[in-house]
């Protein structure tokens, strides 16, 4: 996947997503070491995609660029979903969630309606609202998911 062609739009999406989904980190706060959070360095703040580190799913695979245990509950995940499938049916959870479609022919669901979307489309899912996403195309679909888990949640 050649992400350089997505770089400007991805930067904007990720910046806005983390701003919306979480409170801003105060200056100097990111470098403090807490018992539940690692100290941030240039080396551990960079994560290059590696096919060796993917997690297989029934629908395809996923890759966590930012794990919830690293950045105070904030996550960034790449999901790759096979043709005519979804990672799970529409569902509800307490966290806000944002999707950014990279490739494929997708449909998104909110409340009680499905709608087709194209690459370079974002999809915001408010907390406690039924939502979903599925691949309706004949090829793999790829999308990013940004989410912030509460610290007390185990998932």
**pLDDT tens-digit profile of 43-88?**
989 999 999 999 999 999 999 999 888 888 899 999 999 999 999 9
Return phi, psi of residue 10, to 5°: -65, -45
Tens of pLDDT, residues 103-132: 999 999 999 999 999 999 999 999 999 999
Query: Structure pTM?
Result: 0.76
Question: Residue ranges of the domains in the chain?
Answer: 3-148
β 113-117/106-110 pair status: antiparallel
Architecture of domain 3-148 in this structure? Sandwich (2.60)
Strand partners, 141: 81
Decide: 147 and 118 in contact? Cβ < 8 Å.
Answer: no
């Amino acid at each position: 996947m050649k992400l350089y062609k997505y770089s400007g739009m991805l930067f904007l999406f990720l910046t806005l997503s983390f701003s919306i989904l979480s409170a801003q980190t105060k200056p100097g706060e990111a470098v403090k070491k807490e018992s539940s959070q690692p100290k941030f360095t240039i080396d551990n703040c960079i994560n290059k995609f590696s096919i060796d580190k993917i997690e297989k799913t029934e629908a395809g695979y996923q890759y966590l660029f930012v794990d919830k245990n690293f950045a105070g509950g904030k996550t960034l995940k790449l999901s790759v979903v096979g043709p005519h499938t979804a990672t799970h049916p529409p569902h509800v959870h307490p966290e806000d969630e944002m999707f950014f479609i990279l490739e494929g022919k997708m449909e998104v669901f909110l409340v009680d309606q499905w709608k087709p979307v194209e690459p370079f489309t974002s999809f915001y899912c408010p907390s406690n609202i039924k939502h979903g996403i599925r691949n309706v195309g004949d090829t793999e679909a790829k999308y990013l998911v940004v989410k912030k888990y509460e610290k007390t949640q185990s998932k």
